[in-house]
A and B are shown apart, each in its own frame.
Chain A
Amino acid sequence: MKKKITKHEYQAMVEEKAPGSHILKDLLFAFITGGVICSVGQIVMLIFEGFGADMQTRASATSIVMIFLGAFLTGINVYDDIAKFGGAGASIPITGFSNSIVSPAMEYKKEGYVMGVGAKMFLIAGPVLVYGIFSSVVAGLVYFIWKQVM
C-alpha cells in the first residue's frame, strides 16, 4: 500500500517536472535553430551588400535565396529533421514557409500533378497567403482612411 502511494506520488512529481524542462528544451532548440537560419540569411544579405545592392533589393534577393534553400533542404529530406529538432525555430523563418509548400506537394504527388502537387502545395501556405494578403488589404484601407481624415 505504501509502495503504491509512493509510486503514485512519483508519477505526479514526474508530471509536474517534465513539462517544464520539456518546454525549456524546446525553447532552447527553437532559439538555436531560428538563430542559425537567420544568421545564414544575414550572411546572404551581406554577400548581396558586397555586390552593391540597395536595401530593398538585398531583402528581396535574400528572401528568394532563403526560400530556395528551404525548398532544396525539404526536397533532399533534411528540413524535416531540422523541424523535428527546432520546432517553431524551423517553421517561423521563411524557409519553413517554403518547407510547408514542398513537403505536402511531395507527399501527395501520387494524387496527380494538378489536384495532388498543385493543390496540396498550398495546404499551409494557402492560409498564410490568405490571411497575409487579406490583412494587408485591411491595413491599406486603414491607412487610406487615416490619410483622408488627417
Chain B
Amino acid sequence: MVSILKAFLLGGCICVIGQLLVDLTKITPARIMVIFVVTGVVLGLFNLYQPLIDWGGAGATVPLTGFGNTLAKGVIKEVDESGLLGVFIGGVKAGAAGITAAITFGYIMAIISKPKIKS
C-alpha cells in the first residue's frame, strides 16, 4: 500500500513539472515528451534516476523519463559488455519491450477502432 502511495506522489510530481512547462512556456505536449525522454537519458547516464525508482517504483518508471533512463541504463550495460559496438545496441535493446509493445498494440487498436465523430 505504501508503495502505491509513493508511486502516486512521485508520478504526480513528475507530471506537475511537465504541466508547469506547458502552462508557463506554451511549448507543445510533443516537445514536452521529447524533453522528458532526453532528460531521462541524461539522468540515467549519471545514475541520478535510480534513487527515484528505488523510492517511487512505478511513479518513476511509468513517466517517459523512466523510458529515457531505461535507454541510458541499457547503453551503459552494453558498452560494458561489448565496447564501442554497444553504443549502437544498448539503447534500443533495453527499450525493445516498450517500443515493440507500443507499435503492436498501437497498430492493432488503430485498426479495430473508430475515431469519435467530432461534434
Contact = CB atoms under 8 A, between A and B. Distances in A.
Interface of A: 22-23, 26-27, 30-39, 41-46, 59-64, 66-68, 71-72, 74-77, 80, 86-89, 91-98, 100-102, 105-107, 109, 113, 117, 121, 124-125, 127-129, 131-133, 135-137, 139-144, 147
A41 B62 CA distance: 7
Nearest to B5: A39
Interface in B29-74: 29-30, 32-34, 36-38, 41-42, 44-45, 56-59, 61-68, 70-72, 74
Contact of B15 (A30, A42, A107): A30
A92 B63 contact: yes
Nearest to A68: B105
B105 A67 contact: yes
A134 B67 CA distance: 13
Contacts of A143: 45, 75-76, 79
A117 B21 CA distance: 30
A34 B101 contact: no
Nearest to A28: B16
B36 to A, nearest CB: 6
Interface string B80-119: 0001101110111001011101110111111111111000
A128 B33 contact: yes
A89 B12 CA distance: 7
A32 B13 CA distance: 9
B110 A42 contact: no
Contacts of B20: 23, 27
B110 A121 contact: yes
B16 A31 contact: yes
A135 B11 CA distance: 23
Interface string B8-20: 1111111110111
A140 B87 contact: yes
28 contacts: A27-B20, A31-B13, A38-B12, A38-B62, A39-B4, A39-B11, A41-B7, A42-B6, A42-B58, A59-B70, A60-B97, A63-B97, A63-B98, A64-B97, A64-B101, A88-B22, A92-B33, A94-B98, A101-B103, A102-B113, A106-B110, A125-B106, A128-B33, A128-B64, A132-B41, A132-B71, A133-B71, A133-B91
